[in-house]
């Protein structure tokens, strides 16, 4: 419509936003023509208002004009247009809408998701799949993705069977954000996907959704071949907090990947007191790593019921188990532990003595109580203080005892294969200045425990290399 035509309708006055709203609301004579013409006005405020009011027109009358506006560079115009197309459910605009995924503006991508959701139907579902084929799209805006998931659950569940990896992975993430338990069976199937990224996304979403079926799927995922899936499953089970997961999580203490073991500790701490009985039973296992990680977890949980089991493992043959036992006893606020901690001060391993001293300082800051007790030691530690002569063994046997080969030892210390004994010693000292328990004692529990684990690895690496270079 020409400006002259609008002028006749307005009787020579300039069109304002208030005029446009009034004419559309009252449906004055010629309001449709004025509204369509206003979509192309230069006045930004007037044009945006016209786009918002276009929902009052029949979709077939305004479709071409709105699709033309999608080619504009102005972000506000494009976003308003997408909103109008979604409200009017203009299926013919789907191609133009999905084409906007190439725009870099995040606001436009978010509105594309909303628009596709509103259009719905078979064509809308197909367009949603195209939207999902954008790498890492779900991380762009959780609010938008949640909005998309709530109204597009069937399309998203169907997308889990798509042949494209990104489509399946993004659909799995969206189903979790949608918080709709209808998605649980489909996500359980996705746990068998050939792509580890899809399985990780499915595990994360099952953790968000929770419920008995979801927990069963998460426990099965603890046995996945990919460590990322196992880590995510352990984390999710910790957040769900179901005590049925305690035993499977403890079984991860023997996992070959340290990050998996560490995440299992965090998950059991999240579950809390229900984990304690199974952890106490784990203290009696033959596997050293199992006992060590059970003691480590108990040192964080600080459960009073663990007093006697911790006293017992303070005599464990493995120094790392004794170290965590001493630390846990110091946190229980039970002064009956003082004589046992006094006995641990005579342990041949400095890490154990340090933890015992810290425990005594916590239980008896003034030193008054410890003067009333005699140290209690049920073992004399002769096997540690004076080791019997060893026969010559092969390198492979020696390394196996320490659970670290020479190549890994060089890696742990950050050295090349040409390093000499002096270089090894200097590297060990630098790393211990960073990870030694005295340095990290004031850090949060999680960071401190990780640093102590690293200190243990550094010490083992040092022993392996010094022996290797001596020979």
Q: Model-level pTM?
A: 0.60
Tokens for 22? Answer: 């009034």
Whose tokens are 């799995």? That residue is 172
Distance CA 318, CA 313 (A): 9
311-315: average pLDDT: 89
pLDDT tens digit string along 369-388? 888 887 887 655 443 333 33
283-304: average pLDDT: 91
Lowest mean pLDDT among 102-106, 315-319, 413-417: 102-106
431-451: average pLDDT: 80
Higher local confidence (pLDDT), 316 or 411: 316
Instruction: Judge contact between 46 and 16, C-beta under 8 A.
Output: yes
Domain 120-209 and domain 395-471 have a common topology: no
What is the pLDDT at residue 400?
Answer: 37
Tokens for 43? Answer: 């006045």
16-39: average pLDDT: 86
Tell me how many degrees the CA angle 347-349-352 measures, rounded to the nearest 5: 70
Q: Does position 418 have pLDDT exceeding 80, yes or no?
A: no
| Per-domain residue ranges of the chain | 120-209, 297-382, 395-471
pLDDT-based confidence at 96, cuts 50/70/90?
A: confident
Q: Does position 390 have pLDDT exceeding 50, yes or no?
A: no
Among 298, 230, 224, 288, residue whose Cα is nearest residue 260: 230
Distance CA 297, CA 446 (A): 10
What is the pLDDT at residue 182?
Answer: 85
Distance CA 89, CA 83 (A): 10
Burial 69-97 (b: 16+ CB within 10 A, else e): bbeeeeeebbbbbbbbbbebebbebbebb
Distance CA 329, CA 77 (A): 66
What is the pLDDT at residue 347?
Answer: 85
Lowest mean pLDDT among 138-152, 275-289, 396-410: 138-152
What is the pLDDT at residue 30?
Answer: 83
pLDDT-based confidence at 152, cuts 50/70/90?
A: low
Tokens for 339? Answer: 């004589």
What is the pLDDT at residue 104?
Answer: 75
Lowest mean pLDDT among 12-21, 253-262, 454-463: 12-21
Instruction: Judge contact between 400 and 460, C-beta under 8 A.
Output: no
Instruction: Judge contact between 35 and 54, C-beta under 8 A.
Output: yes
The SS3 call for residue 377 is coil
pLDDT-based confidence at 397, cuts 50/70/90?
A: very low
Within 13 A of 154's CA, how many CA atoms are on the CB side? Answer: 7
Tokens for 304? Answer: 């009073």
Higher local confidence (pLDDT), 66 or 393: 66
Distance CA 60, CA 88 (A): 10
155-167: average pLDDT: 82
Candidates 1.25.10.10, 1.10.10.10, 3.30.360.10, 3.30.1860.10; CATH matching 120-209: 1.25.10.10
What is the pLDDT at residue 40?
Answer: 83
Instruction: Judge contact between 275 and 298, C-beta under 8 A.
Output: no
Distance CA 184, CA 377 (A): 54
What is the pLDDT at residue 133?
Answer: 65
Residues found in the chain? 471
Distance CA 435, CA 429 (A): 10
92-112: average pLDDT: 77
What is the pLDDT at residue 145?
Answer: 52
Among 105, 103, 94, 181, residue whose Cα is nearest residue 129: 94
What is the pLDDT at residue 351?
Answer: 84
Q: Does position 284 have pLDDT exceeding 70, yes or no?
A: yes
163-184: average pLDDT: 83
Architecture, CATH, for domain 395-471 = Orthogonal Bundle (1.10)
Q: Does position 343 have pLDDT exceeding 50, yes or no?
A: yes
Instruction: Judge contact between 86 and 117, C-beta under 8 A.
Output: yes
What is the pLDDT at residue 203?
Answer: 94
Q: How far is CA 24 from the centre of its chain?
A: 50
What average pLDDT does the chain have? 81
Other CB atoms within 10 Å distance of the CB of residue 355: 27
What is the fold of 297-382?
1.25.10
Q: Helices 59-69 and 31-38 sit at what angle, rounded to 10 degrees?
A: 20
Instruction: Judge contact between 183 and 156, C-beta under 8 A.
Output: yes
Other CB atoms within 10 Å distance of the CB of residue 425: 16
Within 13 A of 373's CA, how many CA atoms are on the CB side? Answer: 18
Distance CA 163, CA 168 (A): 8
pLDDT-based confidence at 128, cuts 50/70/90?
A: low
Among 95, 39, 31, residue whose Cα is nearest residue 65: 39
The SS3 call for residue 301 is helix
The SS3 call for residue 285 is coil
What is the pLDDT at residue 386?
Answer: 31
Other CB atoms within 10 Å distance of the CB of residue 14: 10
């Amino acid at each position: 419509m020409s400006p002259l035509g609008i002028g006749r309708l307005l009787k020579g006055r300039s069109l304002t936003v208030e005029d446009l709203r009034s004419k559309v609301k009252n449906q004055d004579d010629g309001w449709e023509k004025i509204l369509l013409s206003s979509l192309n006005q230069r006045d930004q405020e007037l044009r945006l208002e016209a786009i918002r009011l276009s929902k009052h027109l029949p979709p077939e009358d305004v479709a071409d004009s709105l699709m033309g506006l999608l080619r504009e560079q102005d972000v506000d115009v494009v976003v308003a247009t997408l909103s109008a197309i979604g409200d009017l459910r203009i299926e013919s605009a789907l191609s133009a809408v999905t084409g906007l995924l190439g725009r870099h503006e995040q606001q436009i991508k978010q509105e594309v998701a909303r628009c596709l959701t509103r259009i719905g139907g078979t064509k809308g579902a197909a367009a949603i799949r195209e939207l999902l084929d954008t790498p890492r799209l779900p991380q762009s805006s959780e609010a938008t993705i949640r909005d998309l998931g709530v109204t597009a659950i069937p399309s998203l569940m169907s997308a889990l069977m798509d042949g494209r990896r990104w489509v399946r992975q993004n659909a799995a993430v969206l189903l979790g954000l949608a918080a709709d338990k209808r998605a649980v069976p489909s996500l359980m199937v996705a746990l068998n996907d050939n792509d580890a990224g899809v399985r990780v996304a499915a595990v994360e979403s099952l953790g968000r959704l929770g419920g008995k079926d979801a927990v069963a799927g998460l426990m099965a995922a603890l046995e996945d071949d990919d460590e990322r899936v196992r880590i995510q499953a352990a984390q999710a089970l910790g957040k769900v907090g179901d005590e049925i997961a305690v035993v499977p999580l403890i079984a991860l203490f023997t996992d070959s990947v340290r990050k998996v073991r560490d995440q299992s500790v965090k998950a059991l701490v999240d579950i809390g007191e229900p984990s304690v009985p199974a952890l106490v039973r784990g203290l009696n296992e033959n596997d050293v790593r199992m006992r060590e990680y059970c003691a480590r977890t108990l040192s964080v949980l600080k459960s009073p019921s663990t007093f006697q089991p911790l006293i017992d493992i303070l005599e464990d043959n493995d120094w790392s188990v004794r170290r965590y036992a001493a630390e846990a006893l110091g946190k229980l606020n039970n002064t009956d532990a003082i004589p046992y901690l006094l006995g641990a001060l005579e342990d041949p391993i400095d890490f154990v003595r340090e933890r015992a001293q810290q425990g005594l300082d916590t239980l008896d800051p003034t030193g008054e109580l410890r003067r009333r007790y005699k140290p209690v030691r049920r073992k004399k530690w002769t096997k540690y203080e004076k080791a019997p002569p060893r026969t010559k063994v092969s390198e492979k046997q020696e390394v196996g005892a320490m659970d670290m080969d020479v190549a890994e030892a060089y890696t742990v210390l950050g050295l090349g294969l040409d390093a000499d004994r002096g270089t090894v010693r200097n590297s060990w000292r630098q790393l211990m200045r960073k990870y030694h328990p005295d340095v990290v004692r004031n850090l949060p529990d999680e960071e401190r425990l990780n640093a102590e684990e690293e200190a243990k690895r550094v010490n083992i690496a040092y022993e392996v290399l010094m022996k290797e270079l001596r020979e």
